């Protein structure tokens, strides 16, 4: 049998697979330590413009070293692949444990919550906000301890920036202010998600009889819809219920974080970008050619040549974004679900279904993300079923909640002007 190796690591079976990466079990031949090897294809991350997003995720994981955060060991590369070497966590997701065992005892729930808060506090001390905390992203090691994972939507804003604007996360766990389109504090949004993990998915709730008074009191202070009065991290750690049998995590603080391996891998990848052909496949945004753009242009809509209905153009709307495709999809999903619609995503197409605003009928909307240029995505939105006026009302409300990801031309008040004919005076 041929044993495949990358550097000092022997590669074993596949333990996970996603759209952009495959995760394999591997073993360090020098130490015998088991690791998880996340394998990314260079061409794929180039095509989907994911370099900066992945660099940020890796640099954040290197920065946040804590017993309750999945550890990143190193980054390696070959001519075609990038290998991210991670701590191998064997106990599965907290989500699976809850599903299989039902509600946890208060003692066990408090232990997990204490570990979660310890890990999140460390992230915040480094200026990192996770923004997608949920039981699926909390792994358990062989000793049953929490390991926070998946920093793909995390943010590390520049020094002095305290307000985040990108709408992202998982709807059932996202803080209400994230959906308010007014900016939000990343630390307070994470605290809300921690509270949801501890108990429930929204602020309209009642407590079962088995909840202790201490647990009820803390949850009420965490699930406060007003971020200004929501409990802060230091107050959580001083709470009486929280402190019962609390054992703080012990770890060595690393002041210097070496990013040489990361920079070397991605500098080489970026050098390939000018020579990279961006093909099309079902796993990523299609790249539009000139003819596609003409058809999609409202000012030059060729559909009117074949469909004389005055509503043919109104049923099709679109916007442009400079955000990564993953962020655009996540933001649209969060906003649509916050508006009461069901969402179905396959590759870079999303189907939105639900009752119209006036609750008199159903509406179905199809959204597709296209690549227009290296830094621009176009989101095409079409009514598949339902009343036209209700669709236009949906589109208006939907885009208002996505304002932070919608690109607007300089000195332009909005995309609503695009495609409108301007009257020219005769000389």
Same domain, 104 and 178: yes
Q: What is the pLDDT of residue 52?
A: 84
Mean pLDDT of 379-407: 86
- Report yes or no on 151 lying in a domain: yes
Q: Tell me which residues are annotated as active site.
A: 132
> Which H, E and C letters describe 35-60, residue by residue?
EEEEEEEHHHHHHCCCHHHHHHHHHH
- Report yes or no on 334 lying in a domain: yes
Same domain, 73 and 110: no
pLDDT digits (tens, 9 = 90+) for 179-198: 888 899 999 999 999 999 99
| Other residues' Cβ atoms within 10 Å of the Cβ of residue 45 | 19
pTM of the full structure: 0.71
What CATH number did the domain enclosing 18 receive? 3.30.200.20
The confidence band for 233, taking pLDDT boundaries of 50, 70 and 90, is very high
Mean pLDDT of 236-250: 94
Same domain, 105 and 46: no
Q: Which two tokens stand for residue 5?
A: 């190796």
- Nearest Cα residue to 391 out of 338, 350, 333, 352: 352
| Position 267 pLDDT exceeds 80 | no
Cβ burial of 80 (10 Å; 0-12, 13-18, 19+) is: exposed
**If you average pLDDT over each of 3-12, 144-153, 352-361, which comes out highest?**
144-153
Q: What is the pLDDT of residue 242?
A: 97
| Position 284 pLDDT exceeds 70 | no
- Report yes or no on 155 lying in a domain: yes
- Report yes or no on 239 lying in a domain: yes
The confidence band for 48, taking pLDDT boundaries of 50, 70 and 90, is confident
The answer to whether 222 and 194 have CB atoms below 8 angstroms apart is: yes
Residue-by-residue DSSP string for 246-275: --------------HHHHHHHHHHHHTGGG
- Report yes or no on 427 lying in a domain: no
| Position 418 pLDDT exceeds 50 | no
What CATH number did the domain enclosing 402 receive? 3.30.310.80
What CATH number did the domain enclosing 209 receive? 1.10.510.10
| Position 331 pLDDT exceeds 50 | yes
Q: What is the pLDDT of residue 322?
A: 87
**First CA to last CA across the chain, in angstroms?**
83
Structural domain including 181 reads 94-243
Same domain, 286 and 221: no
β-strand partners of 4: none
Same domain, 147 and 212: yes
Q: Which two tokens stand for residue 47?
A: 């095509």
In the block, which residue shows the tokens 């591997």?
26
| Other residues' Cβ atoms within 10 Å of the Cβ of residue 395 | 18
Top-confidence residue, 351 or 102:
351
| Position 415 pLDDT exceeds 90 | no
What is the signed CA dihedral for 346, 349, 355, 356, rounded to 10 degrees?
A: 180
Mean pLDDT of 97-104: 85
- Report yes or no on 426 lying in a domain: no
Q: What is the pLDDT of residue 274?
A: 45
| Position 424 pLDDT exceeds 50 | no
Mean pLDDT of 319-333: 89
- Report yes or no on 254 lying in a domain: no
The mean-pLDDT minimum among 4-13, 134-143, 404-413 falls in: 404-413
The answer to whether 302 and 312 have CB atoms below 8 angstroms apart is: no
Same domain, 216 and 305: no
Same domain, 238 and 156: yes
- Report yes or no on 423 lying in a domain: no
Same domain, 82 and 128: no
Q: What is the pLDDT of residue 298?
A: 45
pLDDT digits (tens, 9 = 90+) for 127-169: 999 999 999 999 999 999 999 999 989 999 988 888 999 999 8
Q: What is the pLDDT of residue 197?
A: 93
| Position 66 pLDDT exceeds 70 | yes
Collect all residues with Cβ–Cβ distance below 8 Å to 82 and sequence separation of at least 6. 39, 40, 41, 42, 45, 54, 75, 76, 265, 269
Q: Give the helix ranges, DSSP H, for 48-105.
A: 51-63, 94-101
Collect all residues with Cβ–Cβ distance below 8 Å to 336 and sequence separation of at least 6. 343, 350, 352, 398
pLDDT digits (tens, 9 = 90+) for 69-96: 999 999 998 888 999 999 999 999 999 8
Q: How far apart are CA 111 and CA 300, in angstroms?
A: 61
Count of structural domains within the chain: 3
Same domain, 79 and 98: no
pLDDT digits (tens, 9 = 90+) for 13-32: 888 877 778 899 999 999 99
Q: Mean pLDDT for the chain?
A: 81
Same domain, 78 and 112: no
Same domain, 102 and 228: yes
Same domain, 135 and 26: no
Percent of the chain scored above 70 by pLDDT?
A: 80
Element (H, E) at 414: none
């Amino acid at each position: 049998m041929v044993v495949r190796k990358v550097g000092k690591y022997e590669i074993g079976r596949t333990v996970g697979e996603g759209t952009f990466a495959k995760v394999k079990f591997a073993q360090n031949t020098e130490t015998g330590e088991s690791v998880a090897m996340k394998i990314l294809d260079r061409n794929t991350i180039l095509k989907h413009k994911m370099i900066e997003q992945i660099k940020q995720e890796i640099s954040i994981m290197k920065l946040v070293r804590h017993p309750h955060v999945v550890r990143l060991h190193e980054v390696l590369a070959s001519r075609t692949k990038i290998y991210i070497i991670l701590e191998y966590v064997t106990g599965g997701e907290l989500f699976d444990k809850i599903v299989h065992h039902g509600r946890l005892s208060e003692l066990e729930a408090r232990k997990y919550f204490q570990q979660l808060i310890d890990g999140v506090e460390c992230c915040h001390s480094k200026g990192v906000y996770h923004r997608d905390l949920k039981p699926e992203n909390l792994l358990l090691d062989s000793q049953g301890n929490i390991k926070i994972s998946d920093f793909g939507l995390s943010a590390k804003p520049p020094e002095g920036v305290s307000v985040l604007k990108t709408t992202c996360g998982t709807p059932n766990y996202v803080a209400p202010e994230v959906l308010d389109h007014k900016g939000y504090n990343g630390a307070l949004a994470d605290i809300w998600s921690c509270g949801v993990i501890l108990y429930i998915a929204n602020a309209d709730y009642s407590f079962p009889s088995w909840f202790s008074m201490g647990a009820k009191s803390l949850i009420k202070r965490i699930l406060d819809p007003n971020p200004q009065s929501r409990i802060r991290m230091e107050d959580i750690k001083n709470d009486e219920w929280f402190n019962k049998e609390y054992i703080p995590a012990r770890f060595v603080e690393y002041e210097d974080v070496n990013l040489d391996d990361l920079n070397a891998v991605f500098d080489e990848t970026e050098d390939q970008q000018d020579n990279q052909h961006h093909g099309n496949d079902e796993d990523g945004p299609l790249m539009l050619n000139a003819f596609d753009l003409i058809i999609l242009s409202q000012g030059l809509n060729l559909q009117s040549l074949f469909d004389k209905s005055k509503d043919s153009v109104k049923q099709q709307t679109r916007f442009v974004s400079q955000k990564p495709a993953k962020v655009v999809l996540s933001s649209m999903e969060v906003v649509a679900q916050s508006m009461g619609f069901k969402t179905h995503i396959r590759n870079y197409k999303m189907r939105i279904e639900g009752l119209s605003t006036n609750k008199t009928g159903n509406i179905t909307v199809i959204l597709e993300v296209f690549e227009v240029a290296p830094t621009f995505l176009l989101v095409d939105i079409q009514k598949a079923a339902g009343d036209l006026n209700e669709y236009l009302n949906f589109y208006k409300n939907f885009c208002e909640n996505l304002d932070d990801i919608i690109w607007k031309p300089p000195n332009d008040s909005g995309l609503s002007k695009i495609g409108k004919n301007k009257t020219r005076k005769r000389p």
